[in-house]
Structure 1
Amino acid sequence: MAAPRFATLALAVLLATAVVAPPATVRAAMSCSTVYNTLMPCLPYVQMGGARPPQDCCGGIRTLLSQASSTPDRRTICGCLKNVANGSSGGSYIDRAAALPSKCGVTLPYKISTNVNCNTIN
């Protein structure tokens, strides 16, 4: 059970650290449940690897990024993913999760890491 949580967290850390804010809209605050559910299609790739992540994984990443419209949302996403990553053993899971943005055509301004300081995300 730790491997799936770690994979999900690693993926979330990857995405949460460099979210670009879309136009502001009125909506509910981001939750860890939303983060985990949105990124769940990425779990098989993070666990087992492969040539490419599934399309629904990349779609989930883009959806999550587009919904992170405020600093609190981006910090919440980061914290959710960091919690998952810290609960795992690391290794190849975090490496594959860190590679997801580039494999999905998303550019992040920093390296994905379990040591990310979520409080510095704007």
Structure 2
Amino acid sequence: MARSISPIAAALLLLVALAAVPRGEAALTCGNVVTFLSSCIPYARGTTAAPSAACCSGVRGLNQAAKTTPDRQTACNCIKSTVASLSGIKPAVVSGVPAKCGVSVPYPISASVDCSKSVSSFTH
């Protein structure tokens, strides 16, 4: 049985393709965040037993890219909104992805985190 991508995930991937820009001095965008983490969707839905190597690579890349407070806030808000908008995503699984990938994220990955406050007090 072939797996199909949901219409929402397809729309997000299209948005990423249209919004992706080279990473110069520009701030991190939600499109960048989705690009880094799109390969984590199967694991976040519980369809794979562990995050893929591509997922973990994306988590590491995002963690390295989100160096400033505004970038961390963008990543936090984007993750929250994406998790809420995709069907079948398991928030408890999402919150554990960094640890499963061996990445230390300096703020909680949770639907209840206040991205405007929680991530601003942490530094890389």
TM-score by length of 1: 0.70
AA matched with 1:54: S
Question: Superposed, which structure 2 residues align to 1:19-58 within 5 Å?
Answer: 27-58=25-56
- Counterpart CA distance in 2 for 1:44 and 1:89 is 11
SS at match of 1:34: helix
SS of structure 1 residue aligned to 2:90: helix
Offset of residue 51 of structure 1: 3.0
* 1:39 partner amino acid: L
Higher percent of residues as helix: 1
Percent sequence identity over aligned pairs:
37
Counterpart Cα distance in 1 of 2:107 and 2:73: 15
Q: Which residue of 2 aligns with 1:21?
A: none
Q: Which has the larger radius of gyration?
A: 2
Matches within 5 A, 1:111-122: 111-120=108-117, 121-122=119-120
Between the two structures, name the one with larger relative contact order (CA 8 Å, sep ≥ 6).
1
1:24-103 correspondence runs (5 A): 27-87=25-85, 93-103=90-100
Q: How many residues align?
A: 102
Q: TM-score when scaled to structure 2? A: 0.69
CA distance in 1, matches of 2:49, 2:85: 26
Cα RMSD for the two superposed structures: 2.6
Q: What is the one-letter code of the residue matched to 1:51?
A: A
